[in-house]
Structure 1
Amino acid sequence: MESSVNLSPTPVATYQLSIKDVFERLSDREQLYAHHLSRAAWHGARIILRQTSPEGTGIFDFILELHKACDGQWGVFTDHYGLTIEELHSFLDYAGMFMSKMNNFCGEGDRKIVPAVSADSLRKMAGISQAATTALEAVVEPMLSLTPSALTLSESTYYLGNAGVTFDEIAGIARAMQLNDLEPENTRVHKSIEKDKTVYQVLQASAQSNDELQDYIKGSAIPIDVLQQDSELNGTVRLVRGDHSTEMTKICGHLLQAVRFAANDTQARFILDYLESFTSGSLEAYRRSMKNWVQDLYPRVESILGFIEPYRDPYGVRCEWRGVISIADPQETAKLTTLVKDSTKFIRTLPWAVPGDNDGKGPFEKDEFRAPGFSVVHALAFVCSNIWEASNVPNYNDIRETYGFKNIVYANRMSANADPNRPLYWIAPSESKSFRKVYHVLRFITTSIHELLGHGTGKLLAETSRGVFNFDSDKIPINTLTGKPVQSWYKPGQTWTSVFEKLAGTVEECRAMLISYYLAESKDMLRMYGYDDDTDISADELLFNMYTYIGFLGIRALQAFNEENQSWGSPHSNADFAILRHLLSDANGLLSIQCDVDSATLQIQVDRPKIAKEGKASLGRMLHRIHVWRCTADVEACKQFYEPLSTVQGEHEAWRRIVASKPEPAWKFVQANTILTDDGKVQLKVYEESDAGIIQSFADRGL
């Protein structure tokens, strides 16, 4: 299948998440704090495997059994077990990719990763031990199968059981959970038929089970077991705590150790809240942890733990485990303080700003923009199916508006973008040298604006409780698109995701991307990053290449489109493509794509003279619309505009086939480990940049 990642005999490059110099600047106490948090994060790896595919944990165990049997000496398979050098390299490439992604589906696009090794060759390798043979036979068929090429509802391990759950049933389960004040982030669903009755088990991640939590539950409003009996689902919905209990118990054990080395009371409080949430499954405790976490400003050791992003759930609400522990880089962080300080000035330049209204920000912004913490860090442990360049958390809108949020840029991940050997398939040869020179600069600028002002702006107009509004209901705000009073807002109990559902993630990413491009058009903004008309990379050079960059991301995004079910495997990729489609039709020829089907080439063309007149204006038109619709809960208007931009038909289907024929190599990273020595100190172990190094690092973690 075109949409699977069929690894070639030429291994993909491995990148190091360099951390040694930064880690060694920490005090002994900070190193101990970082060590225990990192161990807590890594113990979530099997959760990610279990959340992704039925065969994920089995493949993981098979790779580790091979490593154990050969003691990391992979050459034994060519010397004594009949493998060729090419076959061994292909297997190691697969194993390194699998371990780096922590599953056999890419985090961006959900494309399946399939090894370029035959079943016979795998069985030769497994012959090294009975344990390896047993592990292989349990997974060899799904491991090598090209289908499913991507994750859909029927394959998703967020929804288990042999009976097959539908989207309508998931919606019914959601209503039952809402009636009991339960949120879905840390849950999965298991459907079964018992004595001709349908039972839906809501599996909640926690260290302890229902029985173990009887005393904890007794004093709360949370039900012990049954959420809804004989509901409109025509079945029983039950809450079953203890999903991932083995891993959650180990995570809690290291959090208990970490809290001893917290730098302050705020850190101690959010770790204890983590502990309560991961022990009991309580998302109320998790929300409390986030309120304390955002107030721990500029820590030397930063942490993000929990069930955070819903990208892999076909329904869009259940979240993957993420554990990211990082170390601050104060010097790099200081360079961005001006951006944080001048945030309000730039918000006043956005398309919905109204002079004299809300300090010039207009009705669709909060009265006071609370500039968030903005840190440049180096990741020590990045436990996630995709190693992101930046994070903007927490995702709870009420916490963001009341307590604030943090923007975190991972410098040791961002630096990989400067690799001169990454392919640039869709850039014209005459422009490739110039584009490669500025690519990592554009990536850093747009990513940092995206996280701070992209996700940080906007006010959702709402009736927060009956008769209580977060705007003046006697003087309805004017819709800056129509010039008339707004006609819709969020009703009590509604949220951004509950109203916009599956569209919510991609529209929000699109909005944040557009804000980053719109503001990066300003030479004042570029000057803050150190670029003007006289620098080695000039402001004009960045502006021209930014539109090439938008086109490049939009074309590359097509690798995340699943032709089979006409769906996007990534909300980011959907947004990239929608922005490209808009500029192609709305910017009067500023951007065009030259397609030659016979030679399977696509090239982005930017008409430089049109940038000044057409570029920012077109970006602003799209941004203005989706921002106002988001703020006013106008989901129908947004759907009518956004869904056509997301379709892949006609000439765009030809583009998709070309992109599928030249898949960009997935990213592969090796990460260090921390080890507690006999004298109570922490030692950092760094591994070579290779597939063998990645596998060794996981073997040493003992997960």
Structure 2
Amino acid sequence: MAALAITSCASKATDQAAADDFDYTVDRFADIEVLRYKVPDFEKLTPQQRILIYYLTEAALTGRDILWDQNGKYNLAIRDLIENVYKSYDGDRESKDFKALETYLKQIEFANGIHHHYSMDKFTPAFSREFLAENVAKLPADKQPENVDTLYEVIFNPSIMAKRVNQAEGQDLIATSANNLYEGVTQAEVEKFYNALKDTTDATPVSWGLNTRVVKENGKIVEQTYKVGGLYSDAITRIVDLLGKASQYAENDTQRGVINKLIEFYTTGNLKSFDDYSIAWVGDTDSKVDFINGFIESYGDPLGMTGAFESIVNFKNEEASHRTELISGNAEWFEQNSPVDPRFRKDKVKGVTAKVITAAILAGDSYPATPIGINLPNANWIRAAHGSKSVTLENITQAYDEASHGNGFNEEFVIDKETSDLMDKYLFITDNLHTDLHECLGHASGRLLPGVDPDALKAHGSTLEEARADLFALYYLADPKLLELGLLDNPDAYKAEYYKYILNGLMTQLMRIEPGKDVEEAHMRNRQLISAWVFEKGKADNVIEMVKRDGKTYIKINDYAKLRDLFGQLLAEVQRIKSEGDYEAGRDLVETYAVKVDPQLHKEVLDRYATLDIAPYKGFVNPVYTPVTDKDGNITDVNITYGEDYLPQVLRYSEQYRTLPANSK
């Protein structure tokens, strides 16, 4: 494929030609489809802004090895092993074993490790141990791991490191999880360790465990801190250097201060410094270029404490941000009209800002699979005292939308043409509005009662937090306020999102689950919890029913107004659970509605999906940024190209951004 380039001097005609020729689909393997996304209006940024983006993208990609190591202690060594065999293989590249090795390589690159990014189950190679060993033996001595037999056992023995994150109720979630966030400790020991550190009277608690690996040394539990001079020092030192270069091109002093605060956190590992950085980041609302970089989301930790390395570099989509600015500008109205108990609402909503962004790079835990919206910071007290920032990645949602045209989903699963037509007309905008409301107001809404531990919901915290934000968005998506604000032009438009959400939560997301397995990923549990709860509670009024036609099950929503009321009731209960730290009620809600799967319905969904050519999971390759330099080697501008394919990109990343040694022991 010819590379498509847009530079600072590109004309609109050139830009349009590039857009007309843009091919979103890059690769397809296993249960994955890899896409590419556009970065519209990059050429309209100033050279200073483009250079700032370049250094921030370099800092983002430099953290790649950190995530791989967080996800599993043998991941980097296995990545080296498989990549080296793949690149040096001199046999028949169309053979069954080699094609299976290629697929396995693509899978682990996509998942940033040997476990599926969503199910958390370990990948099962379709090539033999003998095939791999035969080709490893052909590698040069410096390419052979110190203890290759250990790696073979990890790769091929299904009982070893079987699941990266285990959420099964009643088990030791640390001992049974294969991530590399803990070593030699039990769940009870870790919980006791952090409970001893927490001060329940502290109104501004740090995010304990956010940037540490917890291990036992000489019988004592200690934290290994991610910082310069600590764990992951080589990678973090390079990130700090690149952030320092980025700060020289900051748009203003506020943005420069944000970058410098992040450097301080990376240098010291001090969690108070991270809070200072988060407060400064929330306060920077004037810069066009923005970024997240650090240890952020904790879905990869069974206890929901340690943040995975993640980074997204972006710039504001001025036109599309009008809708999010309208929403955030009315945050006080939404909070005070929420169906939750007034005791659990914020007395005053502070600093809620939202914008639609154009993603320029995806990295760490946001690559290749990425969120479509973000709301940060995660600390409840910072949200209450200083506010939060919400973003919707519209060039990513646009790529998803473009790639899904004509895939046959509506014809197979939607109950009638009237509903299908409504979805065709309004689903893109209502989907984006759902994301806006979820990120901008849902996560930012409500408050904890004084003295409630932010980690009180433990392993179920992530699921319930996502449910809380989704319910807030669903409830308000049907509110006349959105029509009043001009965000929707049809009072029935919300029904497109309601139908898609219930269909997904009760049925179609099951295509991501293997037969006989439970629902485990937090976002999937959230969606099933909401959908199954409203389905059950609405039975008396026949709000939702499952209709059989020609042996196929369809979702039929009979009363959208009552469905909205049910969303409000569940929102009130989930907010109460969070505000009071009611672990038992939260656990019961999750275990009752979010985990178990109807095997007959599951089989039906899988069989119907098999007739379509739709990959359950999608992710992205990044554009390539190339600096333009003068005769003295100084960067004067940056070009963007879109032609790089999936395997060439991840293999290049493994070479260009290698920062950490492999652990083969």
TM-score (norm 1): 0.76
1:103-502 to structure 2, matched below 5 A, reads 103-119=113-129, 122=132, 129-130=139-140, 134=144, 139-147=151-159, 148-152=162-166, 153=174, 154-161=176-183, 164-178=184-198, 183-191=208-216, 194=218, 198-208=219-229, 242-352=230-340, 362-385=342-365, 386-418=369-401, 419-420=404-405, 424=409, 427-428=413-414, 430=416, 433-434=420-421, 435=423, 438-462=426-450, 491=451, 494-497=452-455, 499-502=456-459
User: More deviation in 542-551 or 41-50?
Assistant: 542-551
1:73 corresponding residue in structure 2: none
Q: Distance in 2 between matches of 1:395 and 1:550?
A: 27
1:618-657 to structure 2, matched below 5 A, reads 618-648=566-596, 652-656=598-602
Instruction: Pick one of 482, 492, 514 that aligns with 1:540.
Output: 492
> Which secondary structure state, in structure 2, belongs to the residue aligned with residue 142 of structure 1?
helix
Q: Which amino acid aligns with 2:462?
A: G
Task: Give the superposition deviation at 1:389.
Answer: 0.4
Considering Cα pairs closer than 8 Å and 6+ residues apart, tell me whether 1 or 2 has the greater RCO: 2
Task: Give the superposition deviation at 1:560.
Answer: 6.9
Matched, 1:607 2:626: no
Q: Distance in 2 between matches of 1:437 and 1:130?
A: 58
> Which secondary structure state, in structure 1, belongs to the residue aligned with residue 225 of structure 2?
strand
Contact 2:206 2:271 (C-alpha < 8 Å) held by counterparts: no
Task: Give the superposition deviation at 1:81.
Answer: 1.1
Instruction: Pick one of 77, 81, 99 that aligns with 2:109.
Output: 99
Task: Give the superposition deviation at 1:454.
Answer: 0.8
Contact 1:548 1:605 (C-alpha < 8 Å) held by counterparts: no
Instruction: Pick one of 73, 76, 87 that aligns with 1:57.
Output: 76
Q: Distance in 2 between matches of 1:145 and 1:423?
A: 38
> Which secondary structure state, in structure 1, belongs to the residue aligned with residue 38 of structure 2?
coil
Task: Give the superposition deviation at 1:400.
Answer: 0.9
Q: Distance in 1 between matches of 2:339 and 2:267?
A: 46
Task: Give the superposition deviation at 1:18.
Answer: 1.9
> Which secondary structure state, in structure 2, belongs to the residue aligned with residue 14 of structure 1?
strand
Task: Give the superposition deviation at 1:579.
Answer: 0.6
Instruction: Pick one of 575, 584, 589 that aligns with 2:542.
Output: 589
Q: Which amino acid aligns with 2:449?
A: L
Matched, 1:506 2:463: yes
The structure-2 alpha-carbon separation of the partners of 1:329 and 1:694, relative to structure 1 and needing over 3 Å to count, comes to same
Contact 1:602 1:655 (C-alpha < 8 Å) held by counterparts: no
The structure-2 alpha-carbon separation of the partners of 1:127 and 1:633, relative to structure 1 and needing over 3 Å to count, comes to closer
User: More deviation in 691-700 or 305-314?
Assistant: 691-700
1:695 corresponding residue in structure 2: 650
Task: Give the superposition deviation at 1:421.
Answer: 5.8
The structure-2 alpha-carbon separation of the partners of 1:552 and 1:634, relative to structure 1 and needing over 3 Å to count, comes to same
Contact 1:591 1:605 (C-alpha < 8 Å) held by counterparts: yes
Task: Give the superposition deviation at 1:693.
Answer: 4.2
Instruction: Pick one of 552, 558, 563 that aligns with 2:504.
Output: 552
> Which secondary structure state, in structure 1, belongs to the residue aligned with residue 41 of structure 2?
helix
2:10 corresponding residue in structure 1: none
> Which secondary structure state, in structure 1, belongs to the residue aligned with residue 445 of structure 2?
coil
Q: Which amino acid aligns with 1:617?
A: D
Q: Which amino acid aligns with 1:575?
A: N
2:64 corresponding residue in structure 1: 45
Task: Give the superposition deviation at 1:544.
Answer: 4.9
Q: Distance in 2 between matches of 1:57 and 1:352?
A: 46
Q: Which amino acid aligns with 2:391?
A: I
Contact 1:304 1:323 (C-alpha < 8 Å) held by counterparts: yes
Q: Distance in 1 between matches of 2:643 and 2:136?
A: 25
> Which secondary structure state, in structure 2, belongs to the residue aligned with residue 325 of structure 1?
strand
TM-score (norm 2): 0.80
The structure-2 alpha-carbon separation of the partners of 1:639 and 1:114, relative to structure 1 and needing over 3 Å to count, comes to closer
Contact 2:548 2:554 (C-alpha < 8 Å) held by counterparts: no
Contact 2:206 2:275 (C-alpha < 8 Å) held by counterparts: no
Contact 2:413 2:554 (C-alpha < 8 Å) held by counterparts: yes
The structure-2 alpha-carbon separation of the partners of 1:141 and 1:634, relative to structure 1 and needing over 3 Å to count, comes to closer
1:474 corresponding residue in structure 2: none
> Which secondary structure state, in structure 2, belongs to the residue aligned with residue 261 of structure 1?
coil
Q: Deviations over 1:140-168 (max 9, x none)?
A: 5433555515533334334444xx42211
The structure-2 alpha-carbon separation of the partners of 1:458 and 1:674, relative to structure 1 and needing over 3 Å to count, comes to same
Q: Distance in 2 between matches of 1:436 and 1:120?
A: 51
Q: Deviations over 1:526-563 (max 9, x none)?
A: 56465334xxxxx4254155234223134345567799
Contact 1:312 1:320 (C-alpha < 8 Å) held by counterparts: yes
User: More deviation in 579-588 or 391-400?
Assistant: 579-588
Task: Give the superposition deviation at 1:117.
Answer: 4.0
Q: Distance in 1 between matches of 2:492 and 2:420?
A: 16
Contact 1:41 1:305 (C-alpha < 8 Å) held by counterparts: yes
Q: Distance in 2 between matches of 1:336 and 1:182?
A: 28
Unaligned runs of 5+ in 2: 1-26, 167-173, 200-204, 659-665
> Which secondary structure state, in structure 2, belongs to the residue aligned with residue 312 of structure 1?
coil
> Which secondary structure state, in structure 1, belongs to the residue aligned with residue 344 of structure 2?
coil
1:15 corresponding residue in structure 2: 35
1:222 corresponding residue in structure 2: none
The structure-2 alpha-carbon separation of the partners of 1:442 and 1:516, relative to structure 1 and needing over 3 Å to count, comes to same
Matched, 1:81 2:60: no
Task: Give the superposition deviation at 1:254.
Answer: 0.9
Contact 2:623 2:644 (C-alpha < 8 Å) held by counterparts: no
Task: Give the superposition deviation at 1:643.
Answer: 3.6
Q: Distance in 1 between matches of 2:152 and 2:142?
A: 11
The structure-2 alpha-carbon separation of the partners of 1:686 and 1:592, relative to structure 1 and needing over 3 Å to count, comes to farther
Task: Give the superposition deviation at 1:637.
Answer: 4.1
Contact 1:64 1:695 (C-alpha < 8 Å) held by counterparts: no
Contact 1:390 1:407 (C-alpha < 8 Å) held by counterparts: yes
Matched, 1:672 2:593: no
Q: Distance in 1 between matches of 2:126 and 2:434?
A: 36
Contact 2:463 2:522 (C-alpha < 8 Å) held by counterparts: yes
Matched, 1:518 2:475: yes
